[in-house]
Amino acid sequence: MPLVFAGVCSHAPGIVGRADQADVSAKDRLYEAFDDMRRRLEASEPDALIVVAAEHFANFFMNNMPSFAMGMADYYEGPIENPEWLGIEKTTIPGDRSLSERLIQKVMERSDVSYAEEWKFDHGIMVPLHFLTPNYDLPIVPANINCQGPPLAPLHRAWAFGEALREAADSVPERIALIGTGGISHWPATPDSGKINEEWDRRFLDQWSHCDKEAMLSYSDNQSYLDAGQGAFEIRTFITISAATEGAEGTVHFYEPIPIFAVGCTIATVNL
Amino acid sequence: MQKFLFELNRDEDFQSRYAADRRGALIGFDLSDEEQRALTEPDIGLLFHLGVNGQILMHFAALHSIEWQDYLQQMRDGLDEHGPVREGVYAVTGYEGVQTHSDRLGQTSNIENGR
């Protein structure tokens, strides 16, 4: 059936792991926005949540790197990171192998996707779940777009992946929710960590909220790298959500640069 | 070098073996003496200089419970000591720093409380 929920959010590890170092009011505003997103997600009564993430070498490495991958297991593990560093305990997250297999089979009709029966979550999925499904009681279907190890799939392929995900969600009887997680401009895991190009972010989010396909697909990785850091390669996850909800407007509920979290923190949903 | 870190970062059993015998954990990986030294000390700055992807390096630093600001400073120190990153997609752009940036945004950061 049609998607019951769609949105995007940040996943930076500092959001939880360095919460004690942030401006208290800024952190509280972000956390309230995450809570609001959780309430919206819960109100949609989903049977499962597809998380389109940009993982950071938790499962996939340059010896065998898929551009697009989806998980196909009844459970997953995470986080891979030191729990004290991330601020999230190691746990088991439910999946749904049958649902994954049906979704993947459908996605394959339009998009080349790898599948993985084993998948360890890193902060890219664990931070969103920490806020959105804190009891880990909603089956997750992880999806990944390689945004870390070039060469990267071009943006129009991320769009095509989103179109395929929408068709797949439409084809199953379950109520499917969909989120994309990633940064916009940021320079994560570098000495420039904390740098944020707010103007660049706001322009992209305006385009995203209007589902402006032409504008979003006009970005080049070379220019984004100069203007918005290597973290901006993760706009692929946002673009995929736009493609999966083409024609619908989005609402940015929260955007605020929080340097200690190393990203312009973002919470947005699509008006389905 | 990155392959070693990838395997280490995601495998708790491998982490236990590395904790017990760092040099022994390197057996089977094609590593130069410099790389072996960087991985066993560990030398975060040298690893960054050698081109280890920052995300892989970040998880490795977390494994060693290196505090965030120390981790960033060790990367900066590595660039000062060894020179620019040899390869990879990590330019250094002259960022003003989190404290100054936070101040400019009117945010009261509490970096000194960092763990």
Q: Is residue B115 very low, low, confident or very high in pLDDT (cuts 50, 70, 90)? A: very low
CA dist A239 and A249 (Å) reads: 13
CB contact under 8 A, A56 and B63: no
CA dist A64 and A87 (Å) reads: 30
Q: What are the backbone angles phi and psi of residue A12, rounded to the nearest 5°?
A: -55, 135
Q: Which domain holds residue B50?
A: 2-113
User: Is residue A25 included in any domain, yes or no?
Assistant: yes
Which residue out of B48, B49, B59, B80 would a mutagenesis test of the A interface target, given it has the greatest number of A Cβ atoms within 10 Å? Answer: B59
Q: Which domain holds residue A125?
A: 5-182
Q: Name the strand (E) or helix (H) holding A35.
A: helix A24-43
* DSSP states along A176-192: EEEEEE--SS--TTSTT
User: Is residue A230 included in any domain, yes or no?
Assistant: no
User: Is residue A194 included in any domain, yes or no?
Assistant: no
Kindly state whether A58 is in contact with chain B, defined as any CB-CB distance less than 8 angstroms. Answer: yes
- Specify burial of residue B36 (Cβ count, 10 A radius: 0-12, 13-18, 19+): middle
| Domain containing residue A103: CATH number | 3.40.830.10
CA dist A54 and A74 (Å) reads: 21
Tell whether the model's pLDDT for residue B89 goes beyond 80. Answer: no
Under a CB-based contact definition with an 8 Å cutoff, are residues A32 and A267 in contact? Answer: no
* pLDDT tens figures, A81-120: 999 999 999 999 999 999 999 999 999 999 999 999 999 9
User: Is residue A165 included in any domain, yes or no?
Assistant: yes
User: Is residue A252 included in any domain, yes or no?
Assistant: no
Tell whether the model's pLDDT for residue B98 goes beyond 70. Answer: yes
SS3 B14: helix
d(CA B106, nearest CA chain A) in Å: 9
Residue found under tokens 């203007």: A227
Q: Is residue B91 very low, low, confident or very high in pLDDT (cuts 50, 70, 90)? A: low
Average pLDDT over residues A200-221: 98
User: pLDDT higher for B114 or A198?
Assistant: A198
CB contact under 8 A, A23 and B109: yes
Number of independent structural domains in chain B: 1
What pLDDT does B112 receive?
A: 63
User: Is residue A217 included in any domain, yes or no?
Assistant: no
What pLDDT does B86 receive?
A: 84
What pLDDT does A3 receive?
A: 98
Kindly state whether B20 is in contact with chain A, defined as any CB-CB distance less than 8 angstroms. Answer: no
User: Is residue A137 included in any domain, yes or no?
Assistant: yes
Does residue B85 come out as left (phi exceeding 0), alpha (psi in the -120 to 50 range) or beta? Answer: beta
d(CA B54, nearest CA chain A) in Å: 5
Which residue out of A65, A84, A85 would a mutagenesis test of the B interface target, given it has the greatest number of B Cβ atoms within 10 Å? Answer: A85
| Domain containing residue B65: CATH number | 1.10.700
What pLDDT does B92 receive?
A: 75
What pLDDT does B87 receive?
A: 75
* pLDDT tens figures, B11-62: 999 999 999 999 999 999 999 999 999 999 999 999 999 999 999 999 999 9
Number of independent structural domains in chain A: 1
d(CA A59, nearest CA chain B) in Å: 8
User: Is residue A203 included in any domain, yes or no?
Assistant: no
* pLDDT tens figures, A33-88: 999 999 999 999 999 999 999 999 999 999 999 999 999 999 999 999 999 999 99
* pLDDT tens figures, A2-36: 999 999 999 999 999 999 999 999 999 999 999 99
Q: What percent of chain A has pLDDT above 90?
A: 99
Q: Is residue A187 very low, low, confident or very high in pLDDT (cuts 50, 70, 90)? A: very high
Q: What angle do CA A150, A151, A153 make, to 5 degrees?
A: 115
Which residues of chain A are within 8 Å of residue B111 when distances are taken between CB atoms? 21, 260
Q: Is residue A170 very low, low, confident or very high in pLDDT (cuts 50, 70, 90)? A: very high
